Structures are given as structure tokens and as C-alpha cells.
Amino acid sequence: MKEIKVPTGTSDILPEQIPLWRYVEDTVRTVFERYGYSEIRTPIFEYTALFNRAIGDTSDIVEKEMYTFNKSETPGEDSVTLRPELTAPIVRSYLENNLPKIKQFQKLYYCGPLFRYERPQKGRRRQFTQAGVEALGSTSYLLDADKCRDAYRDTLKKYLEPHLPQLCGNCQRRFQRNVFRILDCKTPNCIAINKDVPAFDKYLCADCRAHFDNLIKTLDESGMKYGLDKHLVRGFDYYTKTIFEITHSSLGAQDALCGGGRYDDLIAELGGPSLGAVGFAIGLERTMLALESADIKMPEPPRPKVFVAVIDQKFSPKAFHIITTLRQKGISADMDYEGKSVKSQFRTADKLKSEFVITIGEDEITKQTLKLKNMVSGTETEVNESEFLSKPSF
RNA sequence: GUGGGUGUAGCUCAAUUGGUUAGAGCACGAGACUGUGGAUCUCGUGGCUGCGGGUUCGAGCCCCGUCACUCACCCCA
């Protein structure tokens, strides 16, 4: 029989990694909330049609990377898909729950697992976690953003057409499927051709132009550091106007920590009013890779405050009573359950990094006291048992 | 889906040109005159060398296949 292991591209998060996860999750929540975003949670799977419509069929995600299934043979039961991204589900929920009617402008954030059927590599997993924000319903200047994109697409095609034979095989395919991707190519030959590609900002309509200029002006005035990348391309069809990424050099080929942009037409495309929106998502696993490479000190794992050791196993019930009492008073406490030697119990307490050890033996029972040892300083004190248990102090 | 790299103990790695019972460090467990941790020392547990075939008197090592992991393409966080 074949050994059953964790599925390809997924991994267990073991107890020792949990503090880092908590740290990262807590941090994004705190920051998002500081910026006025509220958390929203949507299902892990959605009807497949949602992603087909939102992401667009030029994307590989829709073509071959979705976990799609149909449990029911009944006709009319629609196929569902494990969510490969979260913008579309959130827009869906925003509309379905009439959020724009309650308050047109909504600032929402999320944090959770996503699924894409891909070949794993550094920073790329089949199940991964993203935290992101969506600012939905900001007044849209632009109903004609697509026109700019179409115009630029035509310009690009016109420029690249004569060079087509010199482009790499991938790019020749891209020319038909998605010209913009050619700008992103890493083949030396293609890079050379791309160098002289017409700049996109010459092809913006007045509206987009104004939007772009305003954005740049705001960024400059707030002292925000950024770079303009005329070769930046993002995969989803729903993006309009501004797109952006944050990358980190430690991440290898998959170096985007964060990516996002405007999607001013998506709400309307999913059946809602014509309202603009912006959002971005942060890859949590990639963030953690970057944190590890930056040698950031890991948060301390939780540890028991008290470990109770017994001289003889016959005192175990007593020890059990003590840890139960302490736990009820909100103090983390633990003990040995396997009748180990005193030395071994202390070793265990040490390994757990327990702050204090209480020892119980004949002496303590007759005197009705507890021996309390501070495991950092090594000093031992004797306390009255009933006093300590009714009002523990260290 | 395509290509490269790597698979030996829980982890990191050894094992002369193919040659006996596959080793070490760390980790884990027990102990060092028995009511006390960390340091040191002693002892111990632990491997169908990823799996399946082949070549050979003999394979951890060579050949083929397969699986897994990994990096990269593709695509994307």
C-alpha cells in the first residue's frame, strides 16, 4: 500500500511555526483595521462561473489551474471551484448582500487560503494564504478605461508584429493570447525588443491621464517611495488603470510579495452598478519567507507558567488537583502523566520552558505546603498550600 | 504540462576503484550513591539506503523505470 502523505503543494503547519503565523496574521489584521477596513469571510468554494467571468479566459488560472468539481449528477446543479483568488468572491458578496445600498463605499479585508493547481516551486504552493483589502464603490471616473487598454493593445501589436519572428516561442503564442505578457518576458532577445516599445502613458485618454497624474502627485507629496515599471503586467482581466506590485529579492523567481490594482469594471460585470474599486493581496507564505531571510527574530512560543512534579506517583492526584485549580484561575499549568523520575520531570519542565516548578512529596503533604522553584533564578521557596491555591502569587 | 537537481536514522551528513554485521554529530530516551532542570560524562532506542526491476559471485554506489521533494519554465501571491 502506498504511503499516504500530505498532498503535493500543501504542507502542515507544525506547532513550532504557529507563533510566526499568528504574528503575521495579527499584524495584517491590526494594520488593515487601522486603515479603516472591516473583515469579511466568504466560502472556500464558489460557483465556477464567478471565476470564469471575473478572471477572464486568457488566464491560465481559468484554463487549467482551478480545482473544479461537480458532486451532483443532477442537471442544474452547478459546478463549484475552490477559490483561486478572493477579489471576485468579495465583489460577489458585496453585491449579493446589497452592501452598496447600505453604504456605497465599503472598505473590506480578508485573510484565508486559496487554491491553484500548479507545479510547486519556491514561494508557490497549491494551497496558499493571502491577506488583502478591497475598497469597493469609489466613484469611478472611468467608463472608458478599456478603451485605453484596447488602444494600447493595438499599438503594441502594431509595434511588435514586424519583430514577431525574432521573439521567443512563448511570446509568439502570447502575441495572440495576451500581448501584454510579452512585456514581462525574460528572454534576452525579447527584452531587447521590448526596450523600445511605445510607452503606455502616451496612449492614455484624458481621464486616465488625469487619474495617473493625480496618483503620482499624491505619492510624491506623501513622500512614498515607488518605481514606475512600464513592463509590469498582471494576469487578471479585470484590472483597469493602475496596477502595482511589491517584490522582495530573497524570494527567487516568484518574487511578488504583494500585488493589486484597480478594477473599475468588475462590479458592473458581475451585475452590479457601475462603481470603481481597488484592492491588493499579500502572499502570507512569501511574506514569511522574506521575514526568515531578513533574520527577523521569531515571536516566543507560549509556555506553561507552572509545572508540577511529584516525588512519588502516589501524589499524582494531588498534582492533578493543583494544576486544575491553577488553570481555572487562568494560569497555564502542566504535569507528568507517565510516572517518570523526579529528575526526568524536571528535565521535561525545563524543555517546556516552564517558569516555575512546584514539588510535592511527603514533607509538603504533612506540612500542607508547596515547594515553589523559580526555574530562571533557581531559587526555591516554601508557600502555604491553601493560601497559594486561593490566591496564586509568584 | 515541460526541463534540471536531489532522495541513506526525526534533522544535517559520512561510507576508499562496486566488497563483510551501513557510521557520526545533533535530537530523543535512561542513568551518574536514589527529593531537583540547563553543563559534562556513560549507555541506549532508532535505517527493507524512496519504491520496483536489471547487471554482477556481490549494489547505498552502475543501468532502466517509477514516485516524492526541490529549483526553473509557464503562470502568479
* CA pair distance A117, A8, nearest whole angstrom: 10
C-alpha cell at A44: 472556500
Q: Nearest residue to B30 (CA, C1')?
A: A344
Nearest nucleotide, CA A282 to C1': B77
Residue type present at position A184: D
Residues A304-322 pLDDT 10s: 999 999 999 999 999 999 9
The complex's ipTM works out to 0.86
C-alpha distance across the termini of chain A, in Å: 55
Q: Which domains does chain A have, with CATH numbers?
A: 15-144+205-293 (3.30.930.10), 306-390 (3.40.50.800)
pLDDT for A324 equals 96
Torsion of CA A354, A359, A360, A362, to 10 degrees: 170
Could you tell me if A25 and A111 are in contact, meaning their C-beta atoms sit under 8 angstroms apart? yes
Could you tell me if A315 and A296 are in contact, meaning their C-beta atoms sit under 8 angstroms apart? no
Residue A230 pLDDT level (bands cut at 50, 70, 90) = confident
Q: Work out if A170's Cβ lies within 7 angstroms of strand B.
A: yes
In angstroms, the CA of A169 and the C1' of B2 are apart by 14
Q: Nearest residue to B77 (CA, C1')?
A: A283
**Top-confidence range, A34-48, A243-257, A286-300:** A34-48
In angstroms, the CA of A85 and the C1' of B6 are apart by 33
Question: Average model confidence (pLDDT) for chain A?
Answer: 87
In angstroms, the CA of A92 and the C1' of B58 are apart by 68
pLDDT for A25 equals 95
Average pLDDT over residues A54-76: 76
Q: What would the DSSP string read from start to end of A313-360?
A: GGGHHHHHHHHHHHHHTT--EEE-SS---HHHHHHHHHHTT-SEEEEE
In chain A, positions 68-97 with C-beta closer than 7 Å to nucleic chain B are 85
Residues A140-199 pLDDT 10s: 544 455 567 677 777 888 888 888 788 777 778 787 777 788 877 777 777 777 777 777
Q: What would the DSSP string read from start to end of A142-197?
A: -S-HHHHHHHHHHHHHHHHGGGGGGS-HHHHHHHHH-GGGGGG---HHHHHHHHTS
Q: Nearest residue to B2 (CA, C1')?
A: A119
Q: Work out if A155's Cβ lies within 7 angstroms of strand B.
A: no
In chain A, positions 16-55 with C-beta closer than 7 Å to nucleic chain B are none
pLDDT for A235 equals 72
Residue A75 pLDDT level (bands cut at 50, 70, 90) = low
- What order of strands is seen across the sheet that includes strand A369-374? A333-335, A306-310, A356-360, A369-374, A380-384
Residue type present at position A139: T
In angstroms, the CA of A1 and the C1' of B53 are apart by 18
Q: Work out if A248's Cβ lies within 7 angstroms of strand B.
A: no
More confidently predicted of A87 and A178: A87
Please give the helix or strand (H or E) that residue A219 lies within, else none: helix A206-221
In angstroms, the CA of A313 and the C1' of B24 are apart by 38
* CA pair distance A386, A319, nearest whole angstrom: 14
Residues A231-280 pLDDT 10s: 787 778 788 888 888 999 888 888 999 998 888 889 998 999 988 899 99
In chain A, positions 290-309 with C-beta closer than 7 Å to nucleic chain B are none
Q: Nearest residue to B69 (CA, C1')?
A: A8
pLDDT-above-70 percentage for chain A? 94
E-only strand ranges, chain A: 38-39, 45-47, 68-69, 80-82, 106-115, 127-138, 240-247, 256-262, 276-283, 306-310, 333-335, 356-360, 369-374, 380-384
In chain A, positions 323-362 with C-beta closer than 7 Å to nucleic chain B are 340-344, 346-351, 357, 359-362
DSSP state of A97: T
In angstroms, the CA of A155 and the C1' of B39 are apart by 73
Torsion of CA A14, A83, A244, A105, to 10 degrees: -110
More confidently predicted of A95 and A243: A95
Give chain B positions with protein CB within 7 A: 1-3, 28-32, 34-38, 68-77
Residue A301 burial (10 A CB sphere; 0-12, 13-18, 19+): middle
Nearest to A278 by CA among A294, A270, A266, A288: A266
pLDDT for A91 equals 95
* CA pair distance A270, A254, nearest whole angstrom: 30
C-alpha cell at A286: 512569501
Average pLDDT over residues A73-97: 88
In angstroms, the CA of A301 and the C1' of B70 are apart by 29
Is residue A1 scored above 60 in pLDDT?
Answer: no
